[in-house]
Amino acid sequence: MTLRIRTIARLTGIREATLRAWERRHGFPRPHRNESNYRVYSREEVEDIRRVAKLISEGLAVSEAIAQVRTVPVAELPVRERLVERFWSAVMVLDGDEADRVLGEARASMDVESYCDGLLLPLLREMGQRLDIAREHLASALIRQRLRSLLVAEEAHPNGPRALLACPERDLHEGGLLALGLHLKRKGWRVTLLGADTPAEALRAACPQVHPEVVALSCVRRREAEELRRILQSAVEACAPALVVVGGPGAREHLKAIFSAGAQYAESTDELVALWQQVRGASNRT
């Protein structure tokens, strides 16, 4: 599969005029010409352009970035970097089978936590800045499928504390929530996952059945502080007396709203568990 220069420019953030200038000055990239004499780029060339763009964003000059990519081909990169490059290359040409194959190879070479935290979550964080909507949907679906498989495969602990996991209403990004569920299960928790776009009414219906000690909400969608406070206040009321802990990039900038709603904030699984232990200890002392 080949791509036209307009598509390459949109996917890499490098303007068409800049790509043509690189071709004249540095002999990079080296596109082919189709029957209509348009420039077309192979998967390997797309991969190299993406690597050059990344090196430039890290501070290298154009000539230095191009020289480095030429000197160190993808095949000679460290294993993780090579897998990442292959994944993005496959996604850019909408080759879902190859992208999923790369994720499978990565899983075979990594332990669960390295695979989750070192590969899948960084890919999720990066794709919003890198991809158009079609490619983002393809990539995120593949990664969420892998995260969900890890969560389901993890052994359940019948006597552990219970956690109810959800994304608030109109928040559709559940990748971080799946990773949280995986880490909690590995720490001995029992996890119930409600997933994306969960309104307070659904939490109110679930809590009497699950009896969670913690309700964890993952907020990725950006909101105004007052909107977030209102949503969280409804969640806190719906889940009482369970502790409600909020995390994610959509919550980080509104800590005051979180606390005023009666919820807590955690950056990581360890912080969430520590908050639960603090609340449990205070309750026992009372």
What string of H, E and C letters represents the secondary structure of 46-76? HHHHHHHHHHHHCCCCHHHHHHHHHHCCHHH
Count up the domains in the chain and report the number: 2
The pLDDT > 90 percentage for the chain reads 63
Examine the pLDDT at 285 and tell me if it is beyond 80.
Answer: no
Structure tokens at 208: 């009497």
Residues 144 and 159 in one domain: no
Residues 45 and 91 in one domain: yes
Q: Tens digit of pLDDT for each residue in 106-120?
A: 999 999 999 999 999
Residues 239 and 144 in one domain: no
**Helix, strand, or coil here: 218?**
strand
The label of the residue with tokens 């593949």 reads 142
Residue 100 to residues 86, 90, 144, 161: CA-CA distances in angstroms?
10, 9, 11, 34
pLDDT confidence of residue 32: 82
Examine the pLDDT at 53 and tell me if it is beyond 90.
Answer: no
The band of 229, judged by pLDDT with boundaries at 50, 70 and 90, is: very high
Residues 138 and 163 in one domain: no
Residues 71 and 173 in one domain: no
Q: Tally Cβ neighbours within 10 Å of residue 58.
A: 8
**Domain finish residue from 113, 128, 149:** 149
Residues 58 and 101 in one domain: yes
The band of 246, judged by pLDDT with boundaries at 50, 70 and 90, is: very high
pLDDT confidence of residue 130: 65
CATH of the domain at 214: 3.40.50.280
Structure tokens at 140: 């995120």
The band of 286, judged by pLDDT with boundaries at 50, 70 and 90, is: low
Q: Tens digit of pLDDT for each residue in 4-26?
A: 888 878 777 788 899 999 999 99
Residues 29 and 51 in one domain: yes
Contact assessment for residue 160 and residue 128, using Cβ atoms and an 8 Å cutoff: no
Residue of 261 and 30 predicted with greater confidence: 261
CATH of the domain at 16: 1.10.1660.10
Single out the residue of 160, 53, 141 nearest to residue 96, CA to CA. Answer: 141
What number of residues does the chain have?
286
pTM higher than 0.85, yes or no?
A: no
Fill in the DSSP letter of residue 174. Answer: -
**Domain finish residue from 99, 124, 149:** 149
E strand intervals along the chain: 3-4, 32-33, 39-41, 162-168, 190-198, 214-218, 243-247, 264-265
Q: What is the mean pLDDT of residues 108-135?
A: 89
Fill in the DSSP letter of residue 160. Answer: S
Residue 181 lies in domain: 155-285
**Domain finish residue from 97, 121, 149:** 149
| C-alpha–C-alpha distance, residues 31 and 9, integer Å | 13
Q: Tens digit of pLDDT for each residue in 188-216?
A: 999 999 999 999 999 999 999 999 999 99
Residues 55 and 162 in one domain: no
Residues with Cβ within 8 Å of 80's Cβ and at least 6 positions away in sequence, in order, are 106, 118, 119
| C-alpha–C-alpha distance, residues 132 and 277, integer Å | 42
| C-alpha–C-alpha distance, residues 140 and 175, integer Å | 8
Residues 134 and 260 in one domain: no
pLDDT confidence of residue 1: 59
Residues 98 and 21 in one domain: yes
